[in-house]
Structures are given as structure tokens and as C-alpha cells.
Amino acid sequence: MRKKWTYKEFAEFLATQLMNILEKFIEKRLPEWIYESFVKIKTKNLLKEWSIFETFIMANTLLNIFKSNKYKYQMLDAFHEKINNRLVEINIFKSQSEFNKLLRERYATYSKALGNKKSPGPLHWLSKSFCKYCKNEYDIPSIVATASYFIDISKSHKTFIDNLLKDHIDIVE
């Protein structure tokens, strides 16, 4: 039986799913390539950057799926609020304002990078930005690994959301 959810409920569900993934990373470990690529950064700072990057990937996917929907920004607000509250609760961020400040800064940079059509392409610039934030430098293996991760996770999120909407959930106003 299909469920009827509001945009807010849907966004909060996606935030919960993303937090489940992030919390597994926090409890255990981030993917090994992250530690190999970013050995100089403190773990707490790496978790902050990683959390924002993962949040950006999901938010970017949501914007692409719901690009013509009038509720897309309300959905993103609910999504970010849920993520923000949980990241503060588990002490990745000290406060909601710390999360929001970093989120705004990184989203501006990552969105600008995805809009950069110069060679070698948007994913290069996005990955380079993430690498620079994580270790104040970048190298080709880290950029390639980050770009590959972005592509894989974006596709995974899109498939997950599309399947939910197709088979399980009707969104109501």
C-alpha cells in the first residue's frame, strides 16, 4: 500500500536515511580512500566536511528531481533542519549556527563549481574544492576519487528517491 506523505515528511525521511549513513561512518570509519587522501586533517574537521559534502550531494539530487516543484525549497529547509539538529546532537557541530554557516559557504562553492564549464569539467572543480577544504591542497588521485564518489552517490540517491516515488510514496501538499 502506498503511503501519503507531505513534502516535509518526505524530506525528513530522506534526512533520517542520510543521517543513518553518516552515523555509521562516524561510529566505524569513513571510506578508506578518505583517510588515505586526507591524512593531515583532524578527524573532527574531516567529519564536518564529509557531513556537509554528503548533505550537498543529497540536496543537489533533490533539487534536480524536484526542479519544477513549487515546494522544493520548503523540502530542502526541512531536510537541512533535520540534518542540522542531528549533527549538533551527536557533537559533530557545536551549534546550529556553526552548521548553517559552513553549509552556506560550502554550498556556494560547490554550486559554483558544478556550474563551471571550463575544462576539465564541473566534477573536477567540485572535487578540487572539496579536497582543498579537507587538506588545503589537492592531488589528482584525491580529485578522481571524490568525483567518482559524487557520481556513484548521486546516482544511488536518485535511484532510491525515484523508486520511493514510483512504488511507495505519494507526496501530498
Torsion of CA 22, 18, 63, 143, to 10 degrees: 30
In this prediction, residue 124 carries a pLDDT of 92
Q: What is the pTM of this model?
A: 0.89
Task: Please tell me the predicted confidence (pLDDT) of residue 32.
Answer: 73
Residues of the chain with pLDDT under 70: 28-30, 35, 39-40, 136
Query: Given CA atoms 32, 38, 40, 42 in this order, what sign does their dihedral have?
Result: negative
Into how many domains does the chain fold?
1
Residue 172, in any domain of the structure:
no
Provide the pLDDT for residue 23: 87
Instruction: Give domain status of residue 151, yes or no.
Output: yes
120 prior amide bond cis, ω within 30: yes
Q: What pLDDT is recorded for position 26? A: 77
| Per-residue pLDDT at 35 | 67
Q: Is residue 68 part of a domain?
A: yes
pLDDT digits (tens, 9 = 90+) for 38-73: 766 777 788 898 899 999 999 999 999 999 999 999
Residue 173, domain member (yes or no): no
Give a yes or no: residue 171 inside a domain.
no
Question: What stretches of the chain show up as alpha helix (H) in DSSP?
Answer: 7-27, 32-37, 43-65, 72-89, 96-114, 122-135, 140-167
Asked whether 149 and 21 are in contact (CB, 8 A), the reply is: no
pLDDT at site 94:
94
Evaluate whether residue 170 is within a structural domain: no
Residue 46 pLDDT: 83
- DSSP per position, 7-44: HHHHHHHHHHHHHHHHHHHHHS---HHHHHH-TTS-HH
Is 140 within a domain? yes
Domain that holds residue 67: 3-165
